[in-house]
C-alpha cells in the first residue's frame, strides 16, 4: 500500500525531522492509528513532498524522520501558478470559493476588503479568520489529493492587493468591460508562468478600484454577456485556465 500523504507547513520541518501536532496529529495517530515505523509522505506549501517514517508518537504530538524530499508533480507540471484575488463576498461564500478553488488547482488566494463588500473583517478578527480560511484550503487539498496547499492572504483593500501583484499576467474580471473578452485575450496570449485574477464582490468593483488595478497592469476582461456571482466567477475562471493551460 502506498504511504499516506498529509499536508504540513514547511516551518514544522527541521534537521531532518517533521513535528506534527493539533489536527494533523489527531488525524494521523488517533483517526488512522498510524504508529512508529509507518511510512508517510508530507507535502508542504512550497511544493515539496517529504517521504519518511513515523519516529515517535507522544500524547499530543508525533515526529516523522524525513528520508527524502523532492518537488511534487504539481510544481513540475508547467501549469501557471494561478492566484485568485477576491473581494470579500457575503456569508459563507468565501469558504466555498476557497474549497472549490483549491479543488480546481488555485496556487493561492488573496482576499481583500472591497469598497462594495458587505462583509467586513475587523482587525481583531483577522488572525482567527485567516486560521479558519487556511484550514479550509488544507482540508480541501487533502480531500482532492493535492500535494500542495494553497495559502490564503488578507489585504485591507484593493490598493494593497493591486500593489503586491507581480504576476506575469494580471486580469481584472469586470462586467463594465465592453471590448476585451477573456476568450479573445487568451487566444492571443502565451502561457504565463504566473497569473492573478481580480474578482469583485456581489456589487462589483467600484470605478476607483478598477482604476487602481489597471494602473498596476491589470487587464480588464469580461466573461461575455452573463453577469456571474462572485463565487461562480472564481470557479469559472479556474476551470477555463486549467482547461487551456493546466491539467484538465
Confirm whether 62 is domain-assigned.
Answer: yes
Task: Give yes or no: residues 164 and 208 share one domain.
Answer: yes
Between these two residues, 15 and 119, which has the higher pLDDT value? 15
Task: Tell me whether residue 99 is in a domain.
Answer: yes
* Amino acid 247: pLDDT: 65
What's the pTM?
Answer: 0.73
164 or 61, which is more confident:
61
Residue 164, domain CATH: 3.40.1280.10
Cβ distance 7 to 18 under 8 Å?
no
From 71, 98, 126, the end of a domain falls on: 71
Residues 58 and 94 in one domain: no
Instruction: Tell me, yes or no, whether 177 and 117 share the same domain.
Output: yes
Which residues form the domain of 186?
Answer: 81-245
If one counts every other C-beta atom within 10 angstroms of the C-beta of residue 30, the result is: 9
100 plus 174 within the same structural domain: yes
pLDDT at 77: 60
* Residue 239 located in a structural domain: yes
Q: Do 152 and 115 share a domain, yes or no?
A: yes
Flag whether pLDDT at 75 surpasses 60: no
- Of 27, 52, 71, the residue that ends a domain is 71
Predicted local confidence at residue 234, as pLDDT: 92
Task: Name the one residue in this structure whose C-alpha cell is 500593489.
Answer: 163
pLDDT at 45: 64
CATH classification of the domain holding 25: 2.40.240.20
- The pLDDT of residue 198: 96
Radius of gyration of the chain (CA): 20
DSSP secondary structure of 32-80: S---TT-EEEEE-TTSEEEEEEEEEE-SSEEEEEEEEEEE-TTTTS---
Output the CA angle 30-32-33, nearest 5 degrees.
60
Asked if residue 216 belongs to a domain, the reply is yes
Same domain, 218 and 126: yes
Is the same domain home to 52 and 90? no
Does residue 174 share a domain with residue 135? yes
* Opening angle at CA 91, ends 230 and 134, nearest 5: 85
**139 found inside a domain:** yes
Number of domains making up the chain: 2
Statement to judge: residues 93 and 175 lie in one domain: yes
Structural domain includes residue 76: no
Q: Is residue 228 part of a domain?
A: yes
pLDDT over threshold 90, residue 66: yes
Is 59 within the bounds of a domain?
Answer: yes
What would the mean pLDDT of 5-31 be, rounded to a whole number?
Answer: 86
Which pLDDT does position 248 carry in this prediction? Answer: 65
Instruction: Specify whether 29 is located in the same domain as 115.
Output: no
Kindly state whether residues 22 and 108 are assigned to the same domain: no
Residues 203 and 165 reside in one and the same domain: yes
Last-in-domain residue among 71, 91, 108: 71
Amino acid at each position: 500500500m502506498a504511504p499516506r500523504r498529509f499536508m504540513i507547513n514547511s516551518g514544522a520541518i527541521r534537521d531532518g525531522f517533521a513535528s506534527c501536532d493539533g489536527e494533523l496529529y489527531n488525524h494521523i495517530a488517533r483517526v488512522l492509528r498510524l504508529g512508529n515505523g509507518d511510512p508517510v509522505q508530507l507535502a508542504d506549501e512550497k511544493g515539496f513532498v517529504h517521504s519518511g517514517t513515523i519516529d515517535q508518537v507522544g500524547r499530543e504530538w508525533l515526529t516523522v524522520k524525513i528520508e527524502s524530499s523532492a518537488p511534487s508533480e504539481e510544481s513540475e507540471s508547467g501549469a501557471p501558478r494561478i492566484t485568485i484575488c477576491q473581494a470579500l463576498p457575503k456569508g459563507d461564500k468565501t469558504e466555498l470559493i476557497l474549497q472549490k478553488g483549491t479543488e480546481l488547482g488555485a496556487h493561492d488566494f488573496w482576499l481583500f476588503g472591497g469598497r462594495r463588500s458587505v462583509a467586513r473583517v475587523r482587525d481583531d478578527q483577522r488572525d482567527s479568520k485567516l486560521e479558519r480560511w487556511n484550514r479550509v484550503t488544507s482540508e480541501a487539498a487533502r480531500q482532492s489529493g493535492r500535494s500542495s496547499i494553497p495559502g490564503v492572504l488578507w489585504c485591507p483593500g484593493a490598493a494593497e492587493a493591486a500593489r503586491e501583484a507581480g504576476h506575469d499576467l494580471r486580469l481584472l474580471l469586470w462586467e463594465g468591460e465592453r471590448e476585451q473578452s477573456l476568450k479573445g485575450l487568451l487566444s492571443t496570449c502565451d502561457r504565463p508562468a504566473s497569473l492573478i485574477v481580480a474578482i469583485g464582490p456581489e456589487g462589483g468593483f467600484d470605478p476607483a478600484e478598477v482604476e487602481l488595478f489597471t494602473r498596476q497592469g491589470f487587464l480588464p476582461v469580461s466573461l461575455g454577456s452573463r453577469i456571474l456571482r462572485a463565487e461562480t466567477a472564481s470557479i469559472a475562471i479556474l476551470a477555463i485556465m486549467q482547461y487551456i493551460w493546466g491539467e484538465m
